Structure formats: structure tokens, C-alpha cells
Amino acid sequence: MNYKKEFITYKLADTLKQSSKITNALFDRYGVKRGLRNADGSGVLVGLTKIGNVVGYERTKDGALKPIPGKLFYRGYDIEDLVHAVMKEGRFGFEETAFLLLSGNLPDRDELSDFREMLYGNMPLTHDSTISIIRQRGNNIMNILARTVLEMYTFDANPDDLSRENAMRQSVELISRFPTVVAYAYNVLRHNEKGRSLIIRHPDRGLSFAENFLYMLKRDYTELEARTLDLLLILQAEHGGGNNSTFTVRVTSSTMTDIYSSIAAGIGSLKGPLHGGANIQVVDMFNHLKENIADRKDTDEIDAYFTRILNREAYNRKGLIYGIGHAVYTVSDPRALLLRELARDLAKEKGRSDEFEFLELLEERAVKTFADVKNNGKTVSSNVDFYSGFVYEMIGLPVEIYTPLFAMARIVGWTAHRNEELNFAGRRIIRPAYKNVLDAAEYVPIAER
């Protein structure tokens, strides 16, 4: 019986290989923008938003793309201004960022205080939700997060109510509970897979969002660790409506489904290695380079090794330098520049300044080598993933939660975009077209096949 199953599976898979084959020439003939990308690499315009704006180039009069320093705007505010204001005042800023993205306005002191109280008050999970996480099996936190979000539907008294008030309530509750779910899920995984004690700490209203997560996950942390995590959460909270997971949330929301189904779909999208897992690859590549570069200050040796990587002769032979390049940013990624500021201080605190300087040199040489080897005129820079994985590692965060941390921040952008999608005047379900390129076939009776 098992032999038959394997045979049928193999046969179906082999048939799929043939039946799904579509040549590039057909895409060109019908003008299909594969991956919703234009020929110049820019994204196809499919919607309008007032939430986030990702800027990496400008169009010249002849329609060509001109690389410019990257900019990221939240509700019209430059992310650099938001981050530097928080750093200058020595306070945590993720909560303010969440309020801004959800409402469209910067909060005053009273509004921010009330919003924080609401966030922290919603952080504790119900007894049933906690037990559910403890009982779940599996070693992928993203999968556990998605299952937990779907289960939240059953504990919501009005899960299908799409009114603005209810949608905002659900948004705040999800933002509040993501750090608790991720922290608990990892502690359970650590208990089940690594034989460690199972410790469940309740969130503390006296701590910030970032501090609460670190407290629930590992209890002990430094102030700089918490502030660096707070910065990472701010930088990853939103990135326009075109990134894959946010677009997934908008597509599913356009069907008028419940928020839990829509956010679970976004988690599934972010879980993919082409989207949310890049920082894990950067850390792996960095560790590989530390072992294979004899002189960490020799630019010729570094350039030669990067050339081998790009030519698929070294590392994982996929021809990629992880953390270099972005779909929109060209000259620079503002998130990477901002993160680098605190990463330097954190490396000094952890006694890892030499590694940080090596990472900075790798960044410089990777960009140059890419330009020399590819020689395609494309301008590339490091992206936020180039530093985020190293920062997570210095904070003492396990690799299993790198992508869940991304989700913990991006849930703000997801809910903001969902609410905008639901409140469009004359809203319509998102339904693009696919061209069928197979000729009609005449049915053949089973006896004649």
C-alpha cells in the first residue's frame, strides 16, 4: 500500500512538472508583470495608501529610475526624525509608533499614556490561550504563532464584527499579545526540545513593550539591549503596502474575512525564507566568513571570497550575498543606517567591537564586489537584515525567534493596512487576472484513455 502511495505521488508530481511549465516567451507575449514587477524592477502600482512610503529611487523625465538615498515614512513622518527624537529624549518609542500608524496622528502625552495602558493591559493571555500554547507541538514558532492567532477567534465575543471600533480593539489586542505568545512559545519549545525548565512570566505593566518581551523571554537584560530591541521594532513596524505579507493581509481583508484569518495569512507569508528569514541567513553567512577569512582586515581576500560566493563557488553556492540589495532601496536603506548607530554601542557593551568592525568592512566590500562582478549598472546597498541578525545575537535572542520578532513588529503595519482596506470608500475585493495559455481539450471517455 505504501509502495502504491509513493508511486502515485511520484507520478502526480512528475505530471505537475509538465503541466505547469510556462515559457518566459509567453509572459513576454502577453505583457505579464511577473512577481508584479515592471521590467525595470520597480513594483506594479496596485493600490493607494496613506500609511507608509518606501523611497529608494526617483523617475527621470525619460522614465528611467535614478537611485537616491533611501527614505522611509510613517504617516508622512521621516523614520529618521521619529527615531532620533526618541533616542535624544532617552525613551522607548515603539508604543508611539504603533499609535501613529494605527491612527494617523502623533499622540500627545495623555493619549500616549492611555494607549500604553491599553497595550500593557492586553498583554496577558487568557488561561485557555496559555494552556493551548503549552500543549502545542512543533519547533517552528511562526507556525505556533499562526495557530494561536487563529484560535483567538474562538475567544473573541465579536470576531466577525468589521466596524471601525471593533477592528481597532482587535488590532490593539493582537499587537499587545504577540510578544507574550512568542515568548511563551519559545519557552515551551526550549522545554520540549532542550530539556530546560518551563518558565511562564506574566507581563509587567511597569515595563515598556520591548522590556516586557525581554523580561518574559529571559528575565535579565540591559537597558541598551531593551533600547536596541525597541529601535528594531520601530524600524520593522511598517514597510508600505507592497511588501508580500502586508499585501497578503490586504488581499485577504478585501474579502471581508475576520482579522484572525487575515493576520494568520500574513504570518504565513512572512514565514517564507524569501521574505522574513533573511536575517537568519545573514548570521549564518557572517559566521561562515569569520571561519573562512584568514585576515579580517585584508580587503583583497574579502573581495576574492565574495567574488567566489557570487559565482556560486563558495558558501551555499546560491550566488547570493545575504543582506545586500533590496526591491526598492538603492543607495541606502535608512533602517540599516539607523540600526548601525545602536549596534556599534551594543557591540562595545558586549565586547564584540572587533566583530562589528569586521561586519562593517564586509558591508563595504560586498557592495563594491557586487558592482564589480555583476557589472549591470544596478546600485545596491546593505538592507536592515545585514545588521539585525547580529544585533539579535548580541542581545542574546535565540535564532528560533528572529522571524517571529519581525512579526511582532510588523503586526502594527498589518493591522493598520487591514483597517485602511476595510474603510476604503467603494471597496472592492482584490481580484487580478490570470491569462489561461492552454488550448481547449476534448473530453475522452475513461474506457478510451
- Active site (catalytic) residues: 326, 385
Nearest to 370 by CA among 394, 355, 386, 357: 386
Other beta carbons within 10 angstroms of residue 25's beta carbon come to 8
Specify the residue for cell string 493571555.
125
Tell me how far apart the alpha carbons of residues 86 and 105 are, in angstroms, rounded to a whole number. 16
Alpha-carbon distance values, 225 to 228, 231, 323, 347, 350 (Å): 5, 10, 22, 10, 10
Residue 142 φ then ψ, to 5°: -65, -40
Tell me how far apart the alpha carbons of residues 333 and 312 are, in angstroms, rounded to a whole number. 26
Helices 141-155 and 259-271, axial angle in degrees (round to 10): 180
Instruction: For strands 77-78 and 52-59, give the pairing.
Output: unpaired
Amino acid identity at 59 = R
Nearest to 65 by CA among 393, 422, 327, 382: 327
Q: Give yes or no for a contact between 330 and 377, defined as CB atoms under 8 angstroms apart.
A: no
Nearest to 205 by CA among 90, 108, 119: 119
Tell me how far apart the alpha carbons of residues 21 and 438 are, in angstroms, rounded to a whole number. 11
Tell me how far apart the alpha carbons of residues 100 and 103 are, in angstroms, rounded to a whole number. 5
Tell whether the torsion through CA atoms of 216, 220, 225 and 226 is positive or negative.
positive
Alpha-carbon distance values, 64 to 31, 61, 271, 333, 370 (Å): 19, 7, 34, 20, 22
What b/e sequence results for 250-274 when a residue is b if at least 16 CB atoms lie within 10 Å of its CB, and e otherwise?
bbbbbeeebbbbbbbbbbebbbeee
300, exposed or middle or buried, with CB in 10 Å at 0-12, 13-18, 19+? Answer: exposed
